[in-house]
Amino acid sequence: MPEMLEVEAYRLAAEPVVGRTISTVSAPDQWYVKGGSTPSQLVEMLPGKRVIAVRRVGKLMLVDTDGPVIGLRYGMTGRILVDGGGPIDRLEYSSDRNDPAWDRFALSFEGGGSLVLRDPRRLGGIELDPDEDRLGPDAGVVGLAAFRKVLSGSSLALKARLLDQNKIAGLGNLLVDDMLYRAAVAPDRPVNTLAADEVARLHKAMRRTLAILGRRGGSHTGDLQPVRMRGGHCPKDGTELRRGDVGGRTTYWCPLHQT
């Protein structure tokens, strides 16, 4: 997905629909509607409801209404279109084509305008009243003390724990690799071997990574991104990067300075 930086861009783009009233709903894909709801329930329940706010926790976007909360997940290739336009035209690993056949969910509003979720690979989803409590604290706001709790009581690999949305919400594959690169910590370190100063370094690196990549324009603008390939070299010291599977995801890191 879009990781949290992209979802935040989507959230911002959706702000203009706050205050509008939903007129019609399109949910053509049953598989895309999660959490035990059915497309027909959405189509019945949402028209007439007014949008109160658009929020985000981690990678989950939440549209508050005076009825149910609408939860939007973007998977890896989901984009938002608001009143016909989108904040991100080109998405890494998605399609440059722009086929309305990939519209998995759409709201139309009284007086005009729309909010559309366009998702080629269909990895995202819609859920009414999603359980927000299952998510860990948002990576953008979590403080050092809470972050220490995230990284405690487990022998799991560091990267696997950082990707666990129930422990800390918002980080994806690219953001984690870049923050670990900056923090100079190896992704396969068991969480319970991290020293207190390393955890502090990770927290600082996470915040810097989010700020810098946010400014640059997204999760794909990390320092590791240009060399994220077989045979890539560390921008810091020129060492050939290691490539491996950590936490079930392809991972690149520098074997020299990330320890």
Partner DNA sequence: CCGGATGTTCACCT
Partner DNA sequence: GAGGTGAACATCCG
Q: What is the DSSP string of 167-208?
A: TSBS--HHHHHHHHHHHT--TTSBGGG--HHHHHHHHHHHHH
Q: Which of residues 5-64 bind DNA (CB under 7 A)?
A: 6, 31, 58-59
Q: Which of 216, 169, 195 is nearest to 208 (CA)?
A: 216
The reply to whether 104 sits near DNA by the rule CB under 7 A is no
Q: Which of 249, 247, 248, 222 is nearest to 235 (CA)?
A: 222
Which residue among 20, 49, 56, 73 contacts DNA (CB under 7 A)?
73
Which of the ranges 15-23, 49-57, 68-76, 195-203 carries the binding residues for DNA, by CB under 7 A? 68-76
Which residue among 39, 68, 120, 140 contacts DNA (CB under 7 A)?
120
In angstroms, give the least distance from the CB of 225 to DNA.
8
**Toward DNA, which CB reaches closer, 114 or 165?**
165
Which of the ranges 62-70, 86-94, 108-116, 202-210 carries the binding residues for DNA, by CB under 7 A? 86-94
β-pairing verdict for 22-26 and 33-34: unpaired
Which residue among 49, 80, 102, 199 contacts DNA (CB under 7 A)?
102
- For the chain, the maximum distance between any two Cα atoms, rounded to a whole number of angstroms, is 59
DSSP, collapsed to helix, strand or coil, labels residue 140 as coil
Residue 196 — φ and ψ, nearest 5°? -60, -40
Q: Which residues bind DNA (CB under 7 A)?
A: 1-3, 6, 31, 58-59, 73, 75-76, 88, 91-97, 99, 101-102, 120-123, 154-157, 160, 163, 165, 172-174, 218-220, 245, 247-250
